[in-house]
Copies of this chain bind each other. A is one copy, B any other.
């Protein structure tokens, strides 16, 4: 037997017991007559003491233990004279009577401590050492607990977890698929699912009523920061439901998870239309932990001879409360330069400072007299010492830029309270987006999303312009500016679905080839249905107040899609290629 107890278990009540512990040597301290070893495992750290007077050989052996050696220790639990209140086992220590090295360890490339991680490359290569560090381990444990709580809640609501297949069919819609050549079907490929969308709809047609799955999904995208080629969703679908029944169900799930994992009582989730979110925050995933809402001054600001404003489609400002005296001209110049970076691409930032002494100072003072600017103060609902920042230009672009500026100001002014969680349902998204380049519509959510009931007739019979105005019965859950998930009421009518495929540029043949099974299913009693999917990795990160999803994934890939530990992807051998009827045309390919 390797242990009678783990390293986080022993208390003052165990004093006098003979125990066996196994674990890793966190540190060994030689104090002459005594040698102290901190023994670590997943559950905690227990102090082991070796006494020269009691057993010199054993004590000398203990002195030689290196960091991360794996050992088994036997001994008696004793009360510590010098207790450590910061450690759950801090009242006791083990007076060692035997020591066995189960495995030695090289000196690790970084120490197993909370703050020393050796940098990203080393962490990923030696992930097994990184996982021994408490912050990473805690994240993995949190993820496991969150999954269990999710399943337990959904099961209690009558949801059935169904595993949908991983080897499915490639469809050109959406992001790129990862594909899998089929040896048994030469020249043909499976695809890995970007989501189980069509399968969960088929399950609704199959009468399963309430489906969920915590499921791996795959996207072959050029990886932006903090995206992974494989990611996990909480995927759900329900039959015979209206939008608000779906939202209530998953608001209930979310509240339950925050309560059971974090002991946080979330408020009821407000609903905001896409249009309103864009007008007030310039984003469909606004961080509503702070105000600084958009103030459209297009009417107000035009006609004063300032051509930049006069020529602009849209002029918008935000009011940073109490920030006037915090931002010197140099600070504002820095902010302007940040906004002018190509990623954001603003031309410039106009500022107005309503100063403590009642005066007003502005970068556009030349064009607007103080009286005019003081009138704007009211419009912005500004007070003394508030700083107004203004952008102008083409509306959609300017909204995006102002969204970035608002978030940056929120960060700089410390308005994003990490202890606050502000959930928000964003609803009533546009159904279709017109794409000038490809001269066709794209689905804003996905091709299976239903238009709102009021728009269904118009969708079937309307003209091109009508299509642009159609609203989808789609919804996103946003918490603190992060999109946790989204979903929609689906189309369950063959005619409507065919019409949607038409609008999205599918020929009849393409629609039939790719989604014939779903169109077919709609002819055999498809119930009204809708659903949602939460990004599970993202939900973990938001709940734990962390920006990156990486450390909630045991073995993440880097931005080139590589697993640095196992060194994958890699070449496969010629026989494998031949069996799959494949030749490589890669520049440095071996084939």
Contact = CB atoms under 8 A, between A and B. Distances in A.
Nearest to A564: B517
A220 to B, nearest CB: 6
A438 interface: no
Contact of A568 (B3, B167, B241, B572): B167
Interface in A126-184: 126-132, 137, 140-141, 143-144, 147-148, 151-152, 155, 160-170, 172, 176-184
Contacts of A69: 525
Contacts of A108: 524
Choose among A223, A525, A571 the residue with the greatest number of B CB atoms under 10 Å from its CB. A525
A202 interface: yes
Interface stretch (A253-261, A269-277, A352-360, A573-581): A573-581
Contacts of A6: 209
B229 A167 contact: yes
Interface residues of A, number: 130
Contacts of A144: 155, 160-162
Interface string A513-540: 0001100011111111000000000000
Contacts of A1: 242, 245
A500 interface: no
Contacts of A131: 203, 206-208
Contacts of A554: 162-165, 199, 203
Interface stretch (A185-193, A338-346, A419-427): A185-193
A106 B102 CA distance: 68
A471 to B, nearest CB: 21
B583 A166 contact: no
A160 B141 contact: yes
B169 A240 contact: no
A571 B189 contact: yes
Contact of A586 (B187, B192, B569): B187
Contacts of A522: 103
A19 interface: no
B178 A179 contact: no
Contacts of A148: 151-152, 155, 161
Interface string A28-46: 0000000000001111000
Contact of A166 (B164, B166, B208, B585): B166
Given A132-B206, A169-B568, A524 B126 contact: yes
Contacts of A164: 554-555
Contacts of A351: none
A468 interface: no
Contacts of A155: 144, 148
Nearest to A155: B148
Say how many copies of this protein the assembly contains: 2
Given A2-B240, A524-B128, A586-B186, A179 B70 contact: no
Contacts of A209: 6, 41-43
A128 B40 CA distance: 52
A483 B43 CA distance: 34
A156 to B, nearest CB: 10
A78 to B, nearest CB: 23
Nearest to A167: B230
Contact of A184 (B186, B560, B571): B560
Contacts of A583: 582-585
Nearest to A142: B160
Given A105-B525, A178-B180, A179-B181, A570 B188 contact: yes
A567 B525 CA distance: 21
A103 to B, nearest CB: 5
A184 B221 CA distance: 9
A199 B553 CA distance: 13
Interface in A206-232: 206-209, 216, 218, 220, 222-223, 229-230, 232
Given A68-B525, A102-B527, A186-B588, A147 B165 contact: no
Given A137-B207, A492-B103, A526-B103, A180 B192 contact: yes
A85 interface: no
A24 B207 contact: yes
A20 to B, nearest CB: 10
A521 B130 CA distance: 12
Nearest to A72: B240
A482 interface: no
Nearest to A107: B524
A452 interface: no
Nearest to A205: B128
A517 B565 CA distance: 6
A563 interface: yes
26 contacts: A103-B493, A103-B527, A127-B202, A144-B161, A164-B554, A165-B563, A166-B192, A166-B218, A167-B229, A167-B563, A167-B569, A168-B566, A169-B567, A170-B570, A178-B180, A179-B572, A180-B569, A185-B560, A186-B587, A187-B571, A187-B588, A187-B591, A191-B572, A202-B565, A582-B584, A583-B584
Interface of A: 1-3, 6, 22, 24, 40-43, 68-70, 102-106, 108, 126-132, 137, 140-141, 143-144, 147-148, 151-152, 155, 160-170, 172, 176-192, 198-199, 202-203, 205-209, 216, 218, 220, 222-223, 229-230, 232, 240-242, 245, 492-493, 516-517, 521-528, 553-555, 557, 560-563, 565-573, 576, 578-591
Leading 4 A-B pairs by shortest Cβ distance: A187-B586, A131-B206, A186-B586, A2-B240
